[in-house]
Structure 1
Amino acid sequence: MISGVLFFNQKGENLIFRQFRNDCRPRLSDVFRIQVISNAQVRSPILTLGSTTFSHVKHENIYLVAVTKSNANAALVFEFLYRLITLGKSYFGKFDEEAVKNNFVLIYELLDEILDFGYPQNTETDTLKMYITTEGVKSERNVVEDSTKITMQATGALSWRRADVKYRKNEAFVDVIEDVNLLMSAGGTVLRADVSGQIVMRAYLSGTPECKFGLNDRLLLDGGEPQQGGNKTGSVGTAKTTTRAAAGSVTLEDCQFHQCVKLGKFDTDRIISFVPPDGEFELMRYRATENVNLPFRVHAIVNEIGKTKVEYQVAIRANYGTKLFATNVVVRVPTPLNTAGIQTRTSQGKAKYEPSENYIVWKIPRFTGQSEYVLSADATLTSMTNQKAWSRPPLNLSFSLLMFTSSGLLVRYLKVFEKSNYSSVKWVRYMTRAGSYEIRF
């Protein structure tokens, strides 16, 4: 699949060259240097010359390049490159040119371990650190003690988790984090509204527990089947479904699961069943474009009085329940470039004119549900000989809102099963944030 992996610095110097197949020649490093690094017009991360394809990503001050000759899975190649960056960070702290030069021997060792004849293998950091360390070669006794663990990781099903994990207190924390995006017209019509969500879990559970996760009342699939990442161990590709899943009255699209999720059970029982990695990981990623619950409604009136004055009237109302409250609510209202001064009045919070950004910044530390606050402002403009019409860019809103989801997604249950039958404590938290939340006026 991958014929070779190359590292370059910004000057085009080849730092790492590791070939896995005979069709990857050293002269290819010169081709990439000339065609990509020296060519400022190149913007695409994929360059195909004849039968050779260069897939590259830039991180810090280095280029990571995968060379392929066959019709390879491009998504899998880039997933591998980003996993390689994550692996480098975990070993070296900061993965840059200096780290590559100081640890090139270890990098070659890692490449030989995670790629077998160009096919991605196990890229899990915890597993690799069991027998590849930055301190040097392990003692013979440690090698014997770890041999059974290495064998299990190499031949078993759980490359992402060790079997000897132990905790005094068994806990699982689940965070449902959503970024809501909105573009509303001046007339109040929603032009675009969608939610980008993720379910992040922190599992501090002993042994190898099996967790079952339920969303809303039911979970259905419409269309094709979810697909597993295409590699031998499943350690690089994550489980993905390009179909649409409906959770009760909630419609989720582009669902993407962590590799630990058993997609067979998801298909038959509509239950997310998995053996979690130890610590923090992203269980699921999704999008929602239907029935989006907008946490805030903003109504803005802007009047231009001649060429010397602009009047603002901005009202913002919270659409969520009275028991909830948002924090760090910031409304940025754009002003003309020739603004000389601003006078503001607010019913809540503080407003300040930021000349360097051409914005009135209105900050409300705590916004209780079902409340409505108003900002009134007068902008004084300077006269200009060649004055252009004001483009009126949209105002934007940022906020954080706990225990609320714009998609309507709810965690119905989280069950933990382990052979020792220990009791565990589960915590669920919801967080909605502003992605691109813009209102035209």
Structure 2
Amino acid sequence: MISMIMVLNQKGDIMISRQYRDDVGRAAADSFRLQVVAAKETGTEAPVKRIENCSFLYTRHLNMYFVALTRSNVNPALVFEYLFQLIRILKAYLGEDFDENAMRNNMTLIYELMDETMDFGYPQNCAVDVLRLYINLGNVRPQDEPEPSQLTSQITGAIDWRREGIRHKKNEVYIDVLESVNLLLSSNGNVLRNEVTGQVQMNTKLTGMPECKFGLNDKLVIDKEKEDRKPGVEIDDCTFHRCVRLGKFDADRTITFIPPDGEFELMRYRVTDNINLPFRIIPAVQEEQGMTKVSINLKVIANFSDQLYATHVVLKVPVPKNTAKAKIKHSFGRAKYEPEQQAIVWRVKRFAGKAECHINAEVDLMPTVRPKPWSRPPINVEFQVPMFTASGVHVRFLRVYDKSGYHTNRWVRYITKAGNYQIRI
């Protein structure tokens, strides 16, 4: 498995290193420095480098390299997952934007975390909630920290993501269903690529050790429960947090789990059929002979309910490189030609559902010695629509079972945003 973990700065100097096996040494950092850091290949080359029979798998956070070394034939996905988890853990302890100074000022803490998250090159406990029980930033012991015997049971038990004895004044659960719409539309309106990737984020503040049962309008569940008349959504694939009982899900498609305390991602899913596109865009582009002018006409239609609205709507309409100026007319919002982006950028803070907008632009072009055909890059769209899901997924229920039978307040929020949302012209 993993023989060594290193963290290097942008100059290639080692800030942190932990050796788990004897088949590599710190001298390997020199090879990585010459082959990768000095060559500035990160971002353009594959994040796996084979140097002198040693594999270097690396990723970056700000100006730092997180590198895993191994001489065995490992699963790269597992190694990268550990590197990403290590960065996530450091963010939880040192802040989202931890830098080189934060690393140097907390070296003892970082070595403790690396020792707890890996044993002889095999990733072990990477749960932030559990690590915080016995690895703290300061020397003061928290009042609610468990005794050593309880801690051992917590780490080695079947439910290591949640400790016993948690108490809250109010029992609350916040659910966020976040979706990202990816679309590629041809110039004549045909869908070339269309999918929705979603995630269910939860923030639980529950007393004790409750069991939760969570339900979406998944088509396989709806088909079994004939009394539910709402249409089901066909989810192509999904992944779950490790607290979910997969055996129960495979048996009857119910999502049951004992949740971690606080924020966590319950599941991810993907939908490719029957997607309700938030925006429909109809482009019409005409190039005059001699390439002296280009006329662009767009019709933008919001497909969601008139009770909703989209925010932070941005359309980037590409124009030729030799554009001199552009005269733009639009129904609402603000639009201008931005030479640095080689596009007409139209921005709307609030776009009402079922509304329509027309954008007309007359683009004057500068003459060129060797005119080239315009490649016509696609229109890029950005948006965010609260309380709307493009896939049609919605939360059917969340039931909380606890011995004391306390009441739980539940809140659900839906947000759909643009992923890679493009329309060819």
TM-score using structure 1 length: 0.86
8 Å contact from structure 1 (residues 6, 14) kept in 2: yes
8 Å contact from structure 1 (residues 217, 412) kept in 2: no
- Give the structure 1 partner of residue 111 of structure 2: 108
Report the alpha carbon displacement of residue 120 of structure 1 after superposing the two structures with TM: 1.6
- Of the candidates 303, 310, 313, which is equivalent to residue 326 of structure 1? 310
Kindly provide the CA deviation profile for residues 236-293 of structure 1, in whole angstroms up to 9, marking residues without a partner as x.
xxxxxxxxxxx96423234121111111111112111111122211111122222222
- Give the structure 2 partner of residue 300 of structure 1: 283
Give the distance between the partners of 1:347 and 1:145, measured in 2 at CA: 62
Count of residues in correspondence between the two structures: 413
Report the alpha carbon displacement of residue 314 of structure 1 after superposing the two structures with TM: 0.8
8 Å contact from structure 2 (residues 219, 235) kept in 1: no
- Give the structure 2 partner of residue 343 of structure 1: 327
Give the distance between the partners of 1:423 and 1:254, measured in 2 at CA: 33
Q: Which runs of 5+ in 2 are unaligned?
A: 222-229
- Give the structure 1 partner of residue 165 of structure 2: 164
Gap change, CA 1:337 and 1:211, over 3 Å in 2: same
- Give the structure 2 partner of residue 11 of structure 1: 11
Give the distance between the partners of 1:300 and 1:44, measured in 2 at CA: 37
State yes or no: 1:419 paired with 2:419: no
| Residues 401-410 or 98-107, more deviating | 98-107
Give the distance between the partners of 1:37 and 1:339, measured in 2 at CA: 39
**Poorly superposed stretches of 4+, deviation over 4 Å:** 39-42, 141-145
Kindly provide the CA deviation profile for residues 358-380 of structure 1, in whole angstroms up to 9, marking residues without a partner as x.
32222333323222221122222
Kindly provide the CA deviation profile for residues 208-245 of structure 1, in whole angstroms up to 9, marking residues without a partner as x.
2211111115546xxxxxxxxxxxxxxxxxxxxxxxxx
Kindly provide the CA deviation profile for residues 334-372 of structure 1, in whole angstroms up to 9, marking residues without a partner as x.
222232332222233333222332322223333232222
- Give the structure 2 partner of residue 72 of structure 1: 74
Give the distance between the partners of 2:240 and 2:311, measured in 1 at CA: 30
Give the distance between the partners of 1:49 and 1:382, measured in 2 at CA: 51
Give the distance between the partners of 1:273 and 1:410, measured in 2 at CA: 17
Report the alpha carbon displacement of residue 172 of structure 1 after superposing the two structures with TM: 0.9
Q: Aligned to 1:32, what secondary structure does the other structure show? A: helix
Kindly provide the CA deviation profile for residues 181-232 of structure 1, in whole angstroms up to 9, marking residues without a partner as x.
1111111111111112111111122222211111115546xxxxxxxxxxxx
- Give the structure 1 partner of residue 201 of structure 2: 200
Report the alpha carbon displacement of residue 60 of structure 1 after superposing the two structures with TM: 2.0
Gap change, CA 1:145 and 1:327, over 3 Å in 2: closer
Q: Aligned to 1:98, what secondary structure does the other structure show? A: helix
Q: Which runs of 5+ in 1 are unaligned?
A: 221-246
Give the distance between the partners of 1:82 and 1:56, measured in 2 at CA: 10
8 Å contact from structure 1 (residues 85, 95) kept in 2: no
8 Å contact from structure 1 (residues 333, 359) kept in 2: yes
Q: Aligned to 2:236, what secondary structure does the other structure show? A: strand
Alignment of 1:273-292 (within 5 A): 273-292=256-275
Give the distance between the partners of 1:335 and 1:24, measured in 2 at CA: 53
Give the distance between the partners of 1:342 and 1:36, measured in 2 at CA: 44
Report the alpha carbon displacement of residue 49 of structure 1 after superposing the two structures with TM: 4.6
8 Å contact from structure 2 (residues 212, 398) kept in 1: yes
Gap change, CA 1:248 and 1:102, over 3 Å in 2: same
Give the distance between the partners of 1:303 and 1:429, measured in 2 at CA: 43
Give the distance between the partners of 1:11 and 1:217, measured in 2 at CA: 51
Give the distance between the partners of 1:4 and 1:395, measured in 2 at CA: 45
Q: What CA RMSD, in Å, does the superposition of the two structures yield over aligned residues? A: 2.5
Alignment of 1:85-164 (within 5 A): 85-93=87-95, 94-136=97-139, 146-164=147-165
- Give the structure 2 partner of residue 244 of structure 1: none
Code of the aligned partner of 2:175:
V
Gap change, CA 1:107 and 1:378, over 3 Å in 2: same
Gap change, CA 1:168 and 1:32, over 3 Å in 2: same
State yes or no: 1:386 paired with 2:370: yes
| Residues 92-101 or 110-119, more deviating | 92-101
Code of the aligned partner of 2:152:
T
- Of the candidates 357, 364, 370, which is equivalent to residue 348 of structure 2? 364
| Residues 338-347 or 408-417, more deviating | 338-347
Give the distance between the partners of 2:336 and 2:146, measured in 1 at CA: 64
Give the distance between the partners of 2:188 and 2:219, measured in 1 at CA: 37
- Give the structure 2 partner of residue 191 of structure 1: 192
Give the distance between the partners of 1:322 and 1:52, measured in 2 at CA: 59
Q: Aligned to 2:234, what secondary structure does the other structure show? A: strand
| Residues 7-16 or 141-150, more deviating | 141-150
Code of the aligned partner of 1:78:
F
- Give the structure 1 partner of residue 226 of structure 2: none
